[in-house]
Structure 1
Amino acid sequence: MKTIIKYMLLCLLTVNTVTAQNNTKSINLSNAEVTPYEIELTHNKTTHILLPSSIEYVDLGSSEIIANKVEATSNVLRLKTVKEDISSTNFTVITNDGKYYSFNATYKEQPIQLSYDLTKFDKQNSKQQSEVLFKNLGNTSPSLVDLFMKAIIKKNKKELNIKSKNYGVEARLKSIYIQDGKLYFHISINNKSNLPYTVDYVSFKIKDRRTSKRMTIQEMSLKPIRSYSDYQTINSQSKQDNVFMFDQFTLSDKQVLLIEVIEKSGIRNQVLKIKGTIILKSKQIRKIHFELR
């Protein structure tokens, strides 16, 4: 009997030892590596990188290199070294579409190349490109948000009859969609006049509906989390569509959402008024048929 108990204890000890060894075994992360781009920098010349989307974050591995966005753009990064012959280092860039870029930087007095266009390379490797999640987008990846917006514009269905028109320019709220706690507003601007129409900005405000002249009007501005694109100059007899994304919100019976489209250096401003009942009827994006590519 004692022999049997000793044998069982020996077996139990062996199992615990093997389990402990398995638990302490390290995991090889080689398959999770983000392949870096190789880039040469110098002190007396500036290197520029053109990225497919707006730059959100830059982290430099050394204080011996400097980097900043070109002021007139949002997707061009310029770099140079603070002195000659620096040690090899690295830097990381995250763009608005959630893409993650890693670079290995080495010093060379006369680099072979000073300008890099990653928009060409990114199209060829989009499926292998690493992607990050932004807090303000929740659990939806930036690329999926972009796909949702493209699908809404491609569907191009006038589900709502909310519009503003004057001086030959029409602004229309075509549809409102909801997905993962985010609202998507599809707005179209149609320039039927003979003059180009340049949008200065589009504002979104929650405002109290006036019930009496003595009542104080209160309003609250809403800032989109992101939009599909920036409005450009809309040529004569042409139109542009855009989609604006917001955190989910609702309105009381005494409130209204005002969407104002303001013309730059002009008077052809448009105002759209949306009641809370319209927002409550927002449709699910999953009902749109689109392809994941």
Structure 2
Amino acid sequence: MSIFAQQSLDTIYANDKKNVALFFPTPIRQGITGASNFVFTYNREKEQYFGLIQAKPGIESNLLTITSDGKVYSYILKYSEEPPKLNYFFTKNESIGNESPTKKVPKTENGRTTYFERASEYLLKSRPETIATERKGGIRLRLQEIVYNANEVYLIIEIRNISGIDFEIDYLNVYRTNGNKKRKASYQRLEQEVVYKHKMQYSIRVGQSQRFVYVLPKFVLGDNEKLMLELKELKGSRKVVMETRL
């Protein structure tokens, strides 16, 4: 009889000020952390080879990742004020085993989209208090609520047009910002991926408003970070920028 001891796991260090990137030999299908003070973000819509780890101070945890070929990877996660590495490149030899069955599991994007739709519809029925509001050029941008659910974040947003001109949306982007705008050398902003938009319309007539939901991969704001929403007019110069510390 042979006895095999489980191999020791490597440790990945992260904090809330820098993104630590993990590169796998095949695209990521699923990634799970064991504690809420660690967040692993990756593209859930289109399979990619890398993901990002961020952490807040707290207990150590672990990361379990499954790639599209069924390989399983596991690592210890620890918070560090100064992570020794910002980029990790893994090989198939570092896999701790294979998922069973080993064949590729088909995607369930339709079911996932349906879940986002139902959750968003439920949230829109509520009347939450406003977190932040910004007005400019007769356009009011309002962040009403932020809801964390599993591996996603739901933003309930309202736009109201009280100007004398219809407002056509070019884009509404979400960023995490760090630093002072007046000191451009130290100011950074990182655009956040939006995986689903519910009931967002791109034209708002005079006197009308619309409420809708943005769904994003779960993220953690650092102590010095803010959440930014930037709304830009199509074929016009109007822009509304809102920042909040939550």
Normalized against structure 2, the TM-score is what? 0.53
**Cα shift readout 1:195-237 (whole Å, capped 9, x = no counterpart):** 1011100111111121983752222111101111342210010
Q: 1:224 to 1:238 in 2, by over 3 A?
A: same
Aligned residues: 143
Aligned match of 2:59? none
Question: What SS does the aligned partner of 2:125 have?
Answer: helix
Which structure has the highest helix share of the two? 1
The answer (yes or no) to whether the contact 1:262–1:268 under 8 Å persists in 2 is: yes
Match of 1:161 among 131, 137, 159: 131
Question: What SS does the aligned partner of 2:160 have?
Answer: strand
**Cα shift readout 1:145-178 (whole Å, capped 9, x = no counterpart):** 10111111122x2323301101211010011111
Q: 1:144 to 1:208 in 2, by over 3 A?
A: same
Which structure has the highest strand share of the two? 2
Q: 1:211 to 1:142 in 2, by over 3 A?
A: closer
Question: What SS does the aligned partner of 2:187 have?
Answer: coil
Q: Which residue type is aligned with residue 156 of structure 2?
A: H
Aligned match of 2:156? 186
Task: Write out the 4+ residue segments of structure 1 that deviate beyond 4 Å after TM superposition.
Answer: none
Aligned match of 2:244? 274
Output the aligned Cα RMSD: 2.6
Aligned match of 1:87? none
Matched, 1:133 2:108: yes
Question: What SS does the aligned partner of 2:219 have?
Answer: coil
Aligned match of 1:142? 113
The answer (yes or no) to whether the contact 2:147–2:154 under 8 Å persists in 1 is: yes
Aligned identity (percent) is 19
Q: Residues of 2 paired with 1:143 and 1:161: CA distance? A: 27
Aligned match of 1:252? 222
Q: Which residue type is aligned with residue 267 of structure 1?
A: S
Q: 1:245 to 1:268 in 2, by over 3 A?
A: same
Q: Which residue type is aligned with residue 112 of structure 2?
A: S
Aligned match of 1:42? none
Matched, 1:220 2:195: no
The answer (yes or no) to whether the contact 2:179–2:186 under 8 Å persists in 1 is: no
Q: Residues of 2 paired with 1:235 and 1:166: CA distance? A: 16
Question: What SS does the aligned partner of 1:144 have?
Answer: helix
* Runs of at least 5 residues in structure 1 that lack an aligned partner in the other structure: 1-55, 57-131, 279-293
The answer (yes or no) to whether the contact 1:209–1:256 under 8 Å persists in 2 is: no
Q: Residues of 2 paired with 1:183 and 1:204: CA distance? A: 12
The higher relative CO (CA closer than 8 Å, separation ≥ 6) is in: 2
Aligned match of 1:233? 203
The answer (yes or no) to whether the contact 2:177–2:188 under 8 Å persists in 1 is: yes
Q: Residues of 2 paired with 1:205 and 1:245: CA distance? A: 13
